[in-house]
Structure 1
Amino acid sequence: MTTTRRTLLTAAALGLPALHNARAQTALRFSLDWALQGNHAMWALAEDRGLFGREGLGVRMDRGFGSGDTIVKVASGAYDIGFTDISGVVKFNAENPDKRLVSIYQVFDRTAAAVVTMKGRGIEKATDIAGKSLGAPEGEGSRMLFPAFAKVAGIDTSAIRWTSMAANLRDTMLAQRRVDAVTGFLFTVHFNLVAAGVPEADIVSFPYAENGLDIYGSALVARADWLAANGETAKKFVRASMGGLRLLIADPTGGMAALKKREALFDEPLEARRWAMTRDRSIITPNVRAGGFGVVDLARAQTLIAANAEAYGIANPPTAASLWTDAYLPPLADRTV
């Protein structure tokens, strides 16, 4: 009798639960894009409800410190897979072809980038942004893409005044009327304002994707050379991630509770609302309903590349085919909404 079989039989005889480590698990290091927010519950549930374990994965999930930081960590090999805004990868891949990152699962079908303002600032439609003061951190992705958004939305940028600030001061400066509007991720800015006591009815937003610049948002990415050596592991992680997303859609309350276990200060009611907005505005879109989770249209992908190439002055942008792949996605039948 093998040692493993003897151990399992002994456990059964004693009434003990089956040993999850009876077979070796593949260790995988995973970085989020930011501190825990509602949509991250898809991975917390995948862990807590055994989806990673069933795939033979031992996943270490760590919070992120911005999409740019996550990109660097995955590219350096500190993490195997990261969740990050795909726009940031365009510039990185152009400058670091030897560390090329690849999107293996496009989680956000629509970017969360937006201009956010408040009532009383004289901005009732996108074109009213002309001549106003805007705030955002220097080099922040939504700010860098604003010229491309302004072009398609018909916004005159000649008299716009920009104020740079740290990311943690952006919402405060908007609430204090020190700027007329800010750029950032809709779900982040909107609910940070709510948490700060701003009446939700006073918040006005102009998501880029809903106002002419319909590009992709955050995705799971990994290094091309890591994928070449760990393709099956990548497939397992993507499959478990989609399973976790389905669990979160079916049980958002359970998802928020899973994150609360990981962060004592996690605001479950607020994050449940953040999750609902993320789900409806970026994840379950008409494109995803038609093509399944993770669907990518290379024409839309090329629009994203072109917008970033213009924003960052990239002379040699990567091709869409080098940046996105469906090789690690489950069959379409398993990805339908």
Structure 2
Amino acid sequence: MTTNRRTLLTAAALSPVLATPALHNAYAQAQVRFALDWALQGNHGMWALAEDRGIYRENGLSVRMDRGFGSGDTLVKVASGAYDIGFSDISGAVKFNAENPDKRLVSIYQVFDRTAAAVVTTKRSGITTPQGVAGKRLGAPEGEGSRLLFPAFARAARIDTSGIRWTSMAANLRDTMLMQNQVDAVTGFLFTVYFNLVGIGLPESDILAWPYAENGLDLYGSAIVVRADWLERNQDTAKKFVRSSILGLRALIADPAAGMAALKRREPLFDEALEARRWAMTRDRSILTPNVRAGGFGVLNMDRAQQLVTVNAEAYGIATPPTAASMFSADYLPPAAERAV
């Protein structure tokens, strides 16, 4: 054996990390705790595919993804440090940031260019237009975002609210109460309420819905949110996570069946057929909007961001709301060429 070969073999034996670059890369991965907004639904396939197809790994990340229990709960968990990153309706952060400036939350990628908040009813209610809810019985959980934003939507859609009677209920009873005619219409996320109604047996032909964003109140929807001080310390990790999310979204758009299968592996009770349809509605109504088709995934318009702050400040009675600049950032998005639709 030559001296050079003996030296190389000895070095390899003493330096296993150098001899196994894959192991070295695993140790270099940034650990991320990621909380969703709710139980697994079709749009969450973008993150399941990011993991299953090695997108996170290729971007130097190791991500633990957990289901959520509502956008408000996710905001609190990210703000508390229990999670590094969350996926949540950004409207809720206006009130949170106003009340907790030391735990300020920031949107670094608007996944939903349009809010999914909507009024949903059935044909038997007799309501045929958004204005038709005047004088009717509306239902939603007390304090839920779509309900709090309804007055702003009503102004934009010219709805007379003087005779509307609200019924409060738990979120899991909203769809049943509508189907049983205990209320005439409900407010909530379009693709949540719509497919919950389908799931409990209401024919689709009987469902009518008017999304706020398509009827005068065009606000941003759910986003990747992080705490501001975490962001300062982990700017590179934030950029990698956003880039991975967009790559995962591209994978989901290209192969929805794979995304549903990835979620099914994580939740055996996951209904792939129904969730594929929920995903298609989410994609077409909240993600691939005209704004995104023109400006790319995550495109940020600060006038729209300010509108969201103003509308929510009014809805929650916030005298001194946070600035849009303190709540939204495009600095962590990939270059425009990587975000083009």
Q: Which TM bucket (shorter chain)?
A: over 0.9
Matched, 1:146 2:133: no
Q: 1:273 aligns with which of 268, 274, 277?
A: 277
- 1:45-194 paired onto structure 2 within 5 Å: 45-194=49-198
Q: CA RMSD in A?
A: 1.0
Which structure has the larger Rg over C-alpha atoms?
2
Distance 2:38 2:77 in 1: 13
Q: Distance in 1 between matches of 2:295 and 2:253?
A: 18
| Separation (CA, whole Å) in 1 of partners of 2:127 and 2:26 | 61
Which of 16, 23, 32 does residue 3 from structure 1 map onto?
A: 16
- The answer (yes or no) to whether the contact 1:41–1:258 under 8 Å persists in 2 is yes
Corresponding position of 2:239: 235
Q: CA deviation at 1:24?
A: 2.6
Counterpart-to-counterpart distance in 2, 1:7 and 1:281: 46
**Identity percentage over the alignment?**
75
Quick one: which of 305, 309, 313 aligns to 1:305? 309
Alpha carbons of 1:20 and 1:247: their partners in 2 closer, same or farther (altered >3 Å)? farther
Matched residue, 1:284: 288
1:19 CA displacement: 4.9
Q: Structure 1: which amino acid aligns with 2:105?
A: L
Question: Once superposed, which parts of structure 1, at least 4 consecutive aligned residues long, lie more than 2 Å away?
Answer: 5-8, 18-24
- The equivalent of 1:244 in structure 2 is 248
Q: Give secondary structure in 2 for the equivalent of 1:158.
A: coil
Q: CA deviation at 1:22?
A: 4.5
* 2: CA distance, partners of 1:123 / 1:283: 28
Q: Residues 17-36 of structure 1 correspond to what in structure 2 (within 5 A)?
A: 19=23, 22-36=26-40
Shift of 1:153: 0.3
Q: CA deviation at 1:319?
A: 0.9
Q: Deviations over 1:90-133 (max 9, x none)?
A: 00001111100000000000000000000021210111110000
Q: Could you say if the C-alpha distance between residues 22 and 57 of structure 1 is closer, same or farther in structure 2, counting changes exceeding 3 Å?
A: closer
Task: Kindly indicate whether residue 229 of structure 2 is the aligned counterpart of residue 216 of structure 1.
Answer: no
Q: How many matched pairs? A: 328
Q: Which of 263, 269, 279 lines up with 2:267 in the alignment?
A: 263
Contiguous gaps of at least 5 residues in structure 2: 1-10
TM-score (norm 1): 0.96
Q: 2: CA distance between counterparts of 1:130 and 1:121?
A: 12
| Structure 1 residue 268, shift from structure 2 partner | 0.1
SS at match of 2:44: helix
Q: Decide which of 318, 322, 336 is 1:318's aligned counterpart.
A: 322
1:197 aligns with 2:210: no
Q: Normalised by the size of structure 2, how large is the TM-score?
A: 0.95
How far is the alpha carbon of 1:21 from its aligned partner?
5.5
Whole-angstrom distance in 1 between the partners of 2:72 and 2:314: 18
Q: CA deviation at 1:4?
A: 1.8
Q: Is the CA contact (8 Å cut-off) linking 2:18 and 2:24 kept in structure 1?
A: no
CA contact (8 A) 2:17 2:24 kept: no
8 Å CA contact 1:292–1:332 kept in 2: the answer is: yes
> Cα distance 1:98–1:22, how it changes in 2: closer, same or farther (>3 A)?
closer
Contact 1:82 1:220 in 2 (8 A): yes
